[in-house]
Amino acid sequence: MMKYTWKIGALFMLAILAMSTITDDNNRYFQISKNIEIFTNLYKEINTHYVDDLDPARLMRTGLDAMLESLDPYTNYISETEIERFRYITDGKYNGIGAQIRQIGEDVTITQSYADCPAQKAGLRAGDVLIEIDGQSAKGKSADDVSNILKGFPGTEVMLTINRPGTPAPMKVTLVRDEVLVPNVPYQGMVSNDIGYFALTTFTREAGKNVGNALKTLKAENPNLKGIIFDLRGNGGGLLTEAVNVSNVFIPKGELVVTTKGKVVDWDRSFKTLNQPIDADIPLIVLIDKGSASASEIVSGVLQDLDRGVLLGQRSYGKGLVQNTKDVGYNSKVKMTTAKYYIPSGRCIQGVEYEDGEPKDIPDDERQAFKTRNGRKVLDGGGVAPDVKLKKGANEDIVEELEDKFVIFDYVTQFVAGKEEIEDPKTFNFTEFDAFLNFVAQNKFEYETKTEKALKALKTSAEKQGLSDEMKAELTALETVVVNSKKQDLEKNKSTIINLIEKDIASRFHFQKGKIEVGLKNDPEIKEAIRILGDPTEYAKLLGN
């Protein structure tokens, strides 16, 4: 009798739980339905009765962007006009003219063209300012507006009117659009007698195949090859499957690379390598920095967790999230975060806090410890920490400002005006730093350091609380020290600035390949990687062997 009563009680409890689940689901669906109806009614009323005429598409886009912005920086709406850009991010190709354009002041300017693409074939150069497109003025248009106009079906023509620095009159150039393929492995070569190098710029389709081919080529052409430097600096990621394929170039078949876990349990997956590696033993150093994110962090983290290679540089970005896209009608999509990923040690390197869209730095003592295959300590959260940490230049503030305000770009545009060629990028040297300093002075370049910003905030706060004369004098003295220190910043960062100038000059004539070649000879991280690979004892010690 008791056994029978227990069964009835269990069935009763299951029924209550089922009813509770159904009630929760019904309530959630009601909330969704109710709020969609409210949103629709509000959108209709504003478009019908608001005092000024509105652009319905722009109003909706504002609402969509605001809604998704409240989630995370990686969940975005992709409209029909942005599909070509999305295609470039995933496939590394798009239909257009093969040039990057940016807004510099009030002008839309070409900042880079790609080798063997319509822009380069038609003679367009970095620094050319777009005046008209098919007879229509480009004035007042944003870089995104112009970029969308320049994209189009292969074989179609577009006529541009440009102003070229150093040329007295506007020039008309006719281009024929084509499919533009931007290589994700733009360079491979030797950086010493027995050390090879290649860079991967993005994890678009066939990234694994192209990295594998680069390694095969280096091995075939250099029988004495003793080590590889694999450059992932500035690589913001891409396709998860390509992260697995790139890892597979260096690690054996059947190794776990990454596991994804999200709210929808049926979508959780584990990804293992499927093929035999190109070389699972050759000594390997991976270069990373704060611009290495997502798929770059999977690859570098996997190679670290499996003690397959030494990581060198700076801590990576800290993006441990997975995005998937869903069609939402009218050839538009939503790219949304659906899971977190975990690498072989079990850690997730996602930064847990954001500030101005960037992950905040997490102190090591607040990060959970895990172990590599050889028992080395590694940490979760806030990116992948390199095994060999190297500092960047003396003052990143001024270098970032020079780039953000296009000071170096504008100087190089002036420098190359009238030049048809430079010497081999591998041996090219820029020797006119004084001329650059004069250019900076003539253009009245000013910048504000992070220290200055912090001092201003402190001064404002102190004034609100009643700034004493003594404190006021101390803050003023500190400001003077900072201002005087800034005057020496250009000289302090001379080598870094010259390196950036040389890379920009080389890219004007030899595109991505030249930019990489000229940068390799000045790169302290390359030099340190070569040194470590030349010392098998130190290399083994870094991997815990």
From the first residue on, what is the mean pLDDT of each consecutive set of 10 residues in the chain (545 residues)? Answer: 50 54 69 88 91 90 90 87 76 88 93 93 95 93 90 93 92 94 94 97 96 98 97 95 98 97 90 98 97 96 98 94 90 92 95 67 86 96 94 77 94 92 89 94 83 75 70 73 74 92 95 92 94 98 94
For the chain, domain boundaries: 93-181, 188-392, 396-447+493-525, 450-486
| Beta-carbon contacts of residue 6 (< 8 Å; ≥ 6 apart) | none
Rounded Cα gap, residues 1 and 12, in angstroms:
17
Q: What is the pLDDT of residue 3?
A: 47
Whole-number pLDDT of residue 483: 66
For 261, which DSSP code? E
According to the model, what pLDDT value does residue 88 have? Answer: 72
Residue 58 and residue 474: Cα distance in Å, rounded? 50
What's the CA gap between 256 and 273, in Å, rounded?
7
Q: What is the CA radius of gyration of the chain?
A: 28
Quote the pLDDT of residue 193: 95
C-alpha 411/C-alpha 416 separation (Å) is: 9
Say if CB 272 and CB 256 are below 8 A apart.
yes
**Distance (Å) of CA 239 to CA 134, 230, 322, 335:** 36, 18, 9, 13
The CATH number, out of the four listed (2.60.40.10, 3.40.50.2000, 3.30.1490.190, 3.90.226.10), of the domain defined by the range 188-392:
3.90.226.10
Q: What is the pLDDT of residue 357?
A: 59
Residues contacting 421, CB < 8 A, separation 6+: 509
Instruction: Give the distance, in angstroms, between the CA of residue 42 and the centroid of all CA atoms in the same chain.
Output: 37
Angle formed at CA 324 by CA 321 and CA 328, multiple of 5 degrees:
140
Residue positions annotated with a catalytic role: 294, 305, 319
pLDDT at 2: 45
Q: Given this model, what pLDDT does residue 363 score?
A: 82
Q: How far is CA 226 from CA 159, 185, 194, 198, 212, in A?
A: 51, 21, 5, 14, 17
State residue 71's pLDDT score: 86
178: phi then psi, degrees, rounded to nearest 5: -155, 175
- The runs of H, that is alpha helices, within 95-174 are 118-121, 143-150
How far apart are the C-alpha atoms of 222 and 399, rounded to whole Å?
A: 37
Whether residue 175 contacts residue 122, with contact meaning beta carbons closer than 8 Å, is answered with yes
Q: How far is CA 523 from the centre of its chain?
A: 20
Superfamily holding 93-181: PDZ domain (2.30.42.10)
Q: What is d(CA 276, CA 4) in angstroms, rounded to the nearest whole number? A: 59
Q: Name the residue among 492, 496, 501, 516 with its Cα closest to residue 432.
A: 501
